[in-house]
Amino acid sequence: MRAILRGRLVIETPRRISVDTGIVVDNGIIVDVGKYDEIAARTTDASVQDFDGIICPGLINAHTHLELSVFRKEQFQHKDFVDWVMQLVAARTSMLSDDLHIECSNAKRDAEERGTAFFVNVGNDYELNSSFGKNQLFQFEQIGINDSNADRIFSRAEPLVNQKKGGETALAIHAPYSVSPELMRKIKAYNNGRNSITSIHLAETSDEVEFIRTGKGRVLDLLNRRVGDWKFDVQGLSPVKYVDSLGILDEKTLCVHCVFVDDDDIKILRDRESAVAICVRSNRELSGKVPPVKKFVESGIKVLLGTDSKASSPDIDMFEEVATFYKEFHGFLDPARVFGMATSDAADFLSIDNSQGAIAPGKRASLVYVPFNGKVEDAFEFLATEAHGKTKAVDC
Ligand SMILES: [Zn+2]
């Protein structure tokens, strides 16, 4: 059965808002978009649903960890990032797995109902994460600081990814301080061979910078406590320069956080055409600082938005993330641009623009409605400042 969704305002792309517009949906796919009168005249055998507000495409969460959705950030009383990691690892180890799937699936569904259409989901538990459905890029995250274990870790992970269970899957590099050069290279080569994205947490904390540069500091404590026998080849480089020296950065690399980067690092990220995923709320919680987004934007680096997990962020609702991001950076970013980061820019980078990121024929009808009685020219500002908490996925 076809349905026509009639929206007072329809945001088709970050550059195109149309008034009194019809969206024809057939079996979950958008088949026609246009002026409502014209759509109604050429569409037979369709029910009409009226929406007196904004209809926009569902948002894309470029970084989250669905498997951590059972946590609340308040339960971790950490004094720094390493402390948080230690508490998180302990909490995960002591958790019973029976309810994990249900609780994490519920958290994902809540986010979907509030308007997130797609997730770049980083996780260590292959079976659990594969069960979260097809509207995700599951980044199966690998950890291993010793090169001597790289073959073993890689050959254990690769056959799982090749199974192609539940949604698109690729391997992910956890971080430069937890993955050895050989394992990073193997993961990157494997993903590039499949034209897949590789995500890596990068330059998230000052502790990470200190360790990669000097081999000292709090990350040293973490490795000593968690790994025991390990080695790291200190070269005095920043995290960005270090992973670049290993050939990890290119146009298929998604660098998550990038809070502690200097101008040279930014130039490298731009030259390699890597994207950055910004999780402002998590960064404030774990790093006490936000990334230099103005410099990223001015450099032409592709900026995407993510929520990170509920272990460091209040929720995984992308409209909440957009509101916080826009509040932080509205001085130099207009709201349509921010909306683009969470929709079409993310879809382009992830190569899912055939199905996500805009309202157009052929794409999935992952649509969001929010009541709004203001003017068309205020629609993006409203979405970025007031819509959070009021958005609802359109059931069609
Ligand atoms: Zn993360």
Q: How far is the CA of 255 from the centre of ligand 1 (A)?
A: 10
Torsion angle defined by CA atoms of residues 386, 117, 174 and 65, in that order, rounded to the nearest 10 degrees = 70
pLDDT, tens digit (0-9, with 9 covering 90-100), for 303-323: 999 999 998 899 999 999 999
Three-state secondary structure call for residue 186: helix
* Angstrom distance (rounded) from CA 180 to CA 16: 45
Question: Which of 80 and 181 is assigned the larger pLDDT?
Answer: 181
Token pair belonging to 390: 């009021």
Question: Residue 166: what pLDDT?
Answer: 67
Q: Are 359 and 33 in contact (CB under 8 A)?
A: yes
One DSSP character per residue, 20-78 reads: EEEEEEETTEEEEEEEHHHHHHH--SEEEEEEEEEEEEPEEEEEE-GGGTT--GGG---
* Mean model confidence pLDDT for the chain: 95
Largest pairwise CA distance in the chain: 72
Name the residue among 370, 360, 367, 288 with its Cα closest to residue 323. 370
Question: Residue 228: what pLDDT?
Answer: 79
Residue 95, pLDDT > 90, answer: no
Q: How far is the CA of 278 from the centre of ligand 1 (A)?
A: 10
Residue 17, pLDDT > 80, answer: yes
Q: Which domains does the chain have, with CATH numbers?
A: 2-58+357-393 (2.30.40.10), 59-316 (3.20.20.140)
Phi then psi for residue 271, to 5 deg, are -65, -35
CA separation, residue 337 to residues 15, 278, 297, 342 (Å):
9, 14, 10, 9
Q: How far is the CA of 64 from the centre of ligand 1 (A)?
A: 6
Q: Are 46 and 2 in contact (CB under 8 A)?
A: yes
pLDDT, tens digit (0-9, with 9 covering 90-100), for 363-394: 999 999 999 999 999 999 999 999 999 999 99
Three-state secondary structure call for residue 158: helix
Mean pLDDT of 262-291: 96
Q: Are 344 and 371 in contact (CB under 8 A)?
A: no
Q: Are 263 and 238 in contact (CB under 8 A)?
A: no
Q: How far is the CA of 366 from the centre of ligand 1 (A)?
A: 25
Token pair belonging to 88: 């998180």
Name the residue among 348, 240, 355, 362 with its Cα closest to residue 302. 348
Q: How far is the CA of 148 from the centre of ligand 1 (A)?
A: 26
Token pair belonging to 365: 């009808």
Q: How far is the CA of 68 from the centre of ligand 1 (A)?
A: 10
Q: How far is the CA of 123 from the centre of ligand 1 (A)?
A: 9
Q: How far is the CA of 142 from the centre of ligand 1 (A)?
A: 13
Name the residue among 107, 98, 122, 110 with its Cα closest to residue 70. 107
Phi then psi for residue 323, to 5 deg, are -65, -45
Question: Which of 311 and 110 is assigned the larger pLDDT?
Answer: 110
